[in-house]
Chain A
Amino acid sequence: MNPLTKPWIWSWLAAAVAFGLTIGLTAGHGAGELAYAALSFGAFAAIVGLGQMLVITLGPGNVDLSIPATMTLAATLALKAMSSDPGTAFLGLCIAIAVGLGTGLANYFLIFLLRLPPIIATLAASLIYQSIAIWSNRGLRIKPPTGLADFATGRFLGLPNVAWVGLLLAVLVWILLERSVWGRMLLATGQNLRVARLAGVPVELVRATTYVSVAVFASLAGYLLASFSGGAALNMGAEYLLMSIAVVVIGGSSISGGNSNVPGVWGAALFMFLVVSMLNSYGAGAGVRNVLTGTIIIGIVIAASTRRVRA
């Protein structure tokens, strides 16, 4: 089988090209550092991207716009509970995950009980989560416990710890999607909701678990990001709204659902970091950088779509 027909190959190729171009400028210096930074920062995008991918797999119109607010809320509450005391990392993790469970369930109830379109439901809910985060945070910047901060910025076998977490989650999601009944049900629901329901798939249960998982992934990413960057900030999640959707699509998953792609998410997450650092190292200003990033995203989407048509 020709590897070029795999939809995820494009994001990895793009990431490799961006990496090569950046390294080419410095004639090979700093390649290790660049790869390390890409793995660290890419891990957060990959974790939220994996969650967003699950939701997008559910089918047209399904997307979670509350990811940034969930990240911020989870990070804020977790850091507040830990209040920089040593040995509380596990408590913080539990709280972050509990926040994820809470927001995920709340999102799902808005979508299911009130029959709101997911875009609007998660958008409106995210405003509320944001308010809770503002209220509980009160502008304080609590440092994460030193042990946790060391873990988040540390490395194991040469790879950043956060990247290991991201890889572990990716493997987990891959197994769930490709090898478990739940994954098959999710894909079936995304391909045709009506048919899946008639075939006996518990569609609502699948939707509920998916919306809860994306929120848990987001809260986990928020918890790690706050530990990594030395504290929670109210706007810490902002850039992950568009990022989470972008990595899913660049990664080769179908935006209309029913077809997901785990390796592509990681490739795209690396690419999104590498393309910015490439443009930075070529001295592009903020304006030019944004224009080129946007153009490249669209270019990849066009390349991937024409590829699919021909294949």
Chain B
Amino acid sequence: MNFLARHRIILPVVSLAVLLAATFYMQPRAMSYFGLNLLFNLAVPIALATIAQMMIIMVNDIDLSLGAFVSLAACVTATFLNDTPMLGLLILLALILSYAALGAIIHALELPAIVVTLGMSFVWGGLALFILPSPGGESPGWLRTLMTVKPPFAPMAVVAAVIISIVTHLLIIRSGLGTVLRGVGGNARSVARAGWSVIWLKALAYGLAGLFGVLAGMALVGLATSADANIALRYTLLSIAGVILGGGEFTGGKVSPTGAVIGALTLTLAASFLSFMRLSPDWQIGAQGAILILVLTARLIFSRKGVET
């Protein structure tokens, strides 16, 4: 195994650095506390959603309902959590538990996760429409304060990204439980043979995904100050792209929380970078796709050597 294949984290770090350097070159004024804050402002909810998706990909499943789920969490935050905090908290807790239950059901009945989450995306979307038929609601004051806090040295978004990646790294890579969870993705049967209950582990992985999905919705409301039922629908695809950009694989429990956070930052930055380039709005989306393909192409250098050995 060569150096690059062993240190997969290098790829996301380098792509973020290159993109950041290009942005600073185009717009030197972005190289400041205020500039960085603007660039990465929306990265926090995307990073949290990417971590949520990573939990699901870690156990070899894929979640097509995440965007709808984050939207629903955002709607609950902007309405119930603001008006009646206790009830709001209970609803959010129930959402997390239902995610855990979903994981258990998918495992127990051997259902394809892609289809169940596809169906659930209708359910979450419907509930969100039910709560907030038209855009509105209000962010709880404390959440707004938390998301706009100005810590010394580095802007809020950067500090939050570092904290998220440290916490999830400790949880998934360092802790014993995290190792077993990744083992479910690697070889569920051997984890079961070792005496673990795979159904509980799957429920735990889905529950963690639910938790981070709810956090993403809350962070989003804190930034946007209001919510609507479609606020985060694009997060489904963004989060999958973020996990893969961060060096994760769809199978085998190979995931990297730090990489996923960096992947989310890269995706956010790509959007800012394109607006600095004064690209015609027609091509903005396409250029984002091109950047995605470009960064992923770099994976070839990392994976090919690994496959051959």
Contacts and interface: CB of A to CB of B under 8 A. Distances in A.
B197 interface: no
Main secondary structure, interface of B, reads helix
B130 A287 contact: yes
Given A119-B250, A120-B241, A301-B111, A127 B296 contact: no
B88 interface: no
A169 interface: no
A289 B133 CA distance: 13
Given A123-B237, A287-B130, A294-B126, A135 B283 contact: yes
A303 to B, nearest CB: 11
Q: Report the contact-size class of chain A (Cβ under 8 Å from the partner).
A: 35 or more
A7 to B, nearest CB: 14
A130 B122 contact: no
Interface stretch (A83-91, A109-117, A196-204): A109-117
A291 B300 contact: no
B114 A255 contact: yes
Nearest to B125: A290
B177 interface: no
B285 A127 contact: yes
A294 B289 contact: no
A288 B130 contact: yes
A124 interface: yes
Interface in B104-139: 109-112, 114-116, 118-131, 133
B122 A110 contact: no
Given A134-B282, A246-B118, A287-B133, A120 B287 contact: no
A127 B288 contact: yes
A123 B300 contact: no
B303 interface: yes
Given A124-B296, A128-B286, A306-B109, A117 B120 contact: no
Contact of B282 (A114, A135, A297, A298): A135
B109 A287 contact: no
Contacts of B290: 124, 128
B119 A298 contact: yes
Interface residues of B, number: 48
B240 A131 contact: no
Given A114-B296, A114-B300, A123-B240, A297 B119 contact: yes
A302 B129 CA distance: 26
B49 to A, nearest CB: 15
B42 interface: no
Interface string B168-196: 00000000000000000000000000000
A127 B286 contact: yes
A291 B289 contact: no
Given A287-B130, A291-B123, A297 B118 contact: yes
A44 to B, nearest CB: 18
A301 B120 CA distance: 12
A116 B288 CA distance: 16
Contacts of B129: 285-287, 290
Contacts of B120: 294, 298
Contacts of A135: 280, 282-283
Given A286-B126, A294-B121, A245 B292 contact: no
B227 interface: no
Contact of A288 (B124, B126, B131, B296): B126
A293 interface: yes
Given A130-B285, A294-B126, A124 B300 contact: no
A289 B290 CA distance: 37
B115 A134 contact: no
Interface of B: 62, 64, 109-112, 114-116, 118-131, 133, 237, 240-241, 244, 250-251, 280, 282-290, 292-293, 296-297, 299-300, 303-304
18 contacts: A114-B297, A115-B304, A116-B293, A123-B240, A123-B292, A124-B289, A124-B290, A124-B296, A125-B293, A126-B289, A128-B285, A128-B290, A246-B119, A255-B112, A287-B131, A294-B119, A294-B123, A297-B122
Shortest 7 CB-CB contacts between residues of A and residues of B = A131-B286, A290-B126, A127-B289, A294-B122, A287-B130, A291-B126, A294-B123
Given A119-B250, A132-B286, A287-B133, 12 more contacts: A115-B300, A116-B293, A123-B237, A124-B296, A127-B292, A131-B283, A131-B284, A285-B133, A289-B126, A291-B130, A292-B126, A301-B119
